[in-house]
């Protein structure tokens, strides 16, 4: 027995000595490497120890959201917003206690105005169906207000697409394909689908990269495909096409998009055939004629004089020539990959762009003809209700539904290293994304968004969310006092 103990101690001592020797060799190696390199001054001047600086800098973005950031201060989405989505998606208690952590005093704060005689349950009205594309062969009619924004297969994984599609079907909302093209995974659930036509025209392009009439007809032949959206620009990168890193371009994705396997997928900055508002209307009418279905466009509003020009051209050609809808993306929209100068500095947020477009359509008597879809950081009922009050007919969200899938805001979307399996083509990482479970969470999230919209609408004394107007919302000004949104925007438009 004693000999066995001594033998085991000797083995442990040898292993410990071996590990110590390896550590010493590794430290000496790093010291030599650091002293002989001149790319990083910190590592050269402080060999070995200087490496901690880069490690801690990398880990900082992860630790901040768990230990240091307050509930309402983190970007792009704070803990309070994410937590509400998580609880709603999991169908657990989403009430809070003791008081709000939201500061109601800063300028720009939005406040809904409760009515002394709120709407009772027996007086509430269901959402009436809204028709999009009255001049189409196959108009689209829907009661869904909150829908899934464009996320391409490629930017997100196959299980993520399937879970979103199933969740959309179960909740009765539509799902946008994103510019990556229509896939069997979008269609398999039977959910309503909006096919996005990006600047590279993936999925509906010919060998020259231009629109293919045959492929448009094929996409339109599916009953689930309800509309087509021409993507002019998106919030996170106005003036820049889509970016899909080569490591995400699998053989299947390459075949769907019509591009080489393993090569970066870089879309053009814009559509080569669209150089004016007239060209835009020409493409809209061409796609609508070929498909027989509603066609609109998506754009970030920066320079906005062209919206007036567009409306003038529509009235010149005839009201049937108008886009069936306009999706307005906010400058604070998201994406899988974008240059930081564009993400940080280009375009207008919805609080400016949405009223500009709505008021412009009203001036030209086109408001009823052209439906307005708002997109960009609208992931909670209050944000969605605010957009509806400003004039949006529908709201779409991508990142809200990503949170419902389990996104933890790790900011790895552009690196194929998403830890939750949502924004990666790494099959090992996708294993944790259970389609059945996440489909339920997507549907739950949509359900509680609509439930929250009802709560806000009834508190303001209207019978459903579509009756909410800008007069029901106030905004805090620099004086610290608030003013009604309808009065606020009258001063500017």
- Looking at residue 65, its pLDDT comes to 63
∠ CA 262-182-290, nearest 5°, is 125
**CA–CA separation, 463 and 492 (whole Å):** 29
- Looking at residue 329, its pLDDT comes to 92
pLDDT, tens digit, 9 for 90 and up, residues 104-156: 888 999 999 999 999 998 999 999 999 999 999 999 999 999 999 999 998 89
Residue pair 450/146 in contact by the 8 Å Cβ criterion? yes
Q: What whole-number percentage of the chain has pLDDT above 70?
A: 92
User: Looking at the predicted structure, is the pLDDT value of residue 201 above 70?
Assistant: yes
**Which one-letter DSSP state was computed for residue 426?**
-
- Looking at residue 173, its pLDDT comes to 97
- Looking at residue 130, its pLDDT comes to 97
Write out the E strands in 201-281.
Answer: 225-231, 243-244, 265-266
**CA–CA separation, 192 and 186 (whole Å):** 9
- Looking at residue 249, its pLDDT comes to 87
**CA–CA separation, 109 and 326 (whole Å):** 27
**CA–CA separation, 155 and 196 (whole Å):** 14
Q: Where are the domains of the chain?
A: 2-68, 121-490
Lowest mean pLDDT among 59-73, 344-358, 439-453: 59-73
User: Looking at the predicted structure, is the pLDDT value of residue 379 above 60?
Assistant: yes
Superfamily of structural domain 121-490: Aldolase class I (3.20.20.70)
Residue 448 Cα distances to 26, 306, 445, angstroms: 54, 37, 5
> Whole-prediction pTM value?
0.87
pLDDT grade for 255, boundaries at 50, 70 and 90: confident
For residue 208, what are its two tokens?
Answer: 């020259």
Residue 322 buriedness (CB in 10 A; 0-12 / 13-18 / 19+): buried
pLDDT, tens digit, 9 for 90 and up, residues 285-336: 999 999 999 999 999 999 889 999 999 999 999 999 999 999 999 887 777 6
Maximum Cα–Cα distance for the chain, whole Å? 101
């Amino acid at each position: 027995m004693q000999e066995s103990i001594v033998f085991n101690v000797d083995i442990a001592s040898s292993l410990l000595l071996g590990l110590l020797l390896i550590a010493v060799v590794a430290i000496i190696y790093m010291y030599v490497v650091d002293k002989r390199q001149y790319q990083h001054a910190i590592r050269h001047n402080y060999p070995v120890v200087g490496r901690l600086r880069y490690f801690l800098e990398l880990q900082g973005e992860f630790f901040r959201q768990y230990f240091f950031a307050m509930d309402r201060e983190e970007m792009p989405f704070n803990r309070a917003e994410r937590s509400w989505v998580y609880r709603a998606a999991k169908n657990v208690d989403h009430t809070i206690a003791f008081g709000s952590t939201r500061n109601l005093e800063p300028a720009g704060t939005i406040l809904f105005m409760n009515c002394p005689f709120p709407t009772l349950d027996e007086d509430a009205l269901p959402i009436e169906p809204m028709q999009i594309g009255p001049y189409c062969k196959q108009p689209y009619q829907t009661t869904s207000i909150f829908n899934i924004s464009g996320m391409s297969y490629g930017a997100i994984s196959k299980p993520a697409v399937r879970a979103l599609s199933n969740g959309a079907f179960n909740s009765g909302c539509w799902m946008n394909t994103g510019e990556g093209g229509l896939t069997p995974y979008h269609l398999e659930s039977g959910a309503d689908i909006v096919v996005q036509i990006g600047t590279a025209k993936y999925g509906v392009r010919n060998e020259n990269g231009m629109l293919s009439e045959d492929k448009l007809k094929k996409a339109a032949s599916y009953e689930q495909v309800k509309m087509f959206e021409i993507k002019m620009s998106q919030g996170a990168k106005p003036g820049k096409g889509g970016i899909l890193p080569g490591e995400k371009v699998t053989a299947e994705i390459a075949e769907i998009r019509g591009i080489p396997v393993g090569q970066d997928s870089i879309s053009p900055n814009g559509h080569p055939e669209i150089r004016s508002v007239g060209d835009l209307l020409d493409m809209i009418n061409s796609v609508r004629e070929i498909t027989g279905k509603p066609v609109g466009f998506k754009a970030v509003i920066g320079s906005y004089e062209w919206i007036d020009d567009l409306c003038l051209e529509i009235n010149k050609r005839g009201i049937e020539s108008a886009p069936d809808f306009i999706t307005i993306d906010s400058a604070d929209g998201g994406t899988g990959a974008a240059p930081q100068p564009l993400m940080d500095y280009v375009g207008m947020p919805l609080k400016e762009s949405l009223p500009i477009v709505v008021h412009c359509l009203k001036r030209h008597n086109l408001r009823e003809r052209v439906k307005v879809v708002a997109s960009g950081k609208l992931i909670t009922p209050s944000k969605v209700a605010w957009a509806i009050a400003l004039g949006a007919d529908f709201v779409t969200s991508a990142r809200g539904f990503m949170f419902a899938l389990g996104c933890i805001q790790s900011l790895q979307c552009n690196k194929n290293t998403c830890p939750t399996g949502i924004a990666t083509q790494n099959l090992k990482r996708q294993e944790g994304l259970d389609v059945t479970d996440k489909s339920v969470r997507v549907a739950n999230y949509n359900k509680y968004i609509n439930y929250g919209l009802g709560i806000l609408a009834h508190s303001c004394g209207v019978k459903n969310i579509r009756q909410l107007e800008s007069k029901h919302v106030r905004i805090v000004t620099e004086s610290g006092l608030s003013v009604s949104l309808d009065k606020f925007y009258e001063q500017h438009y």
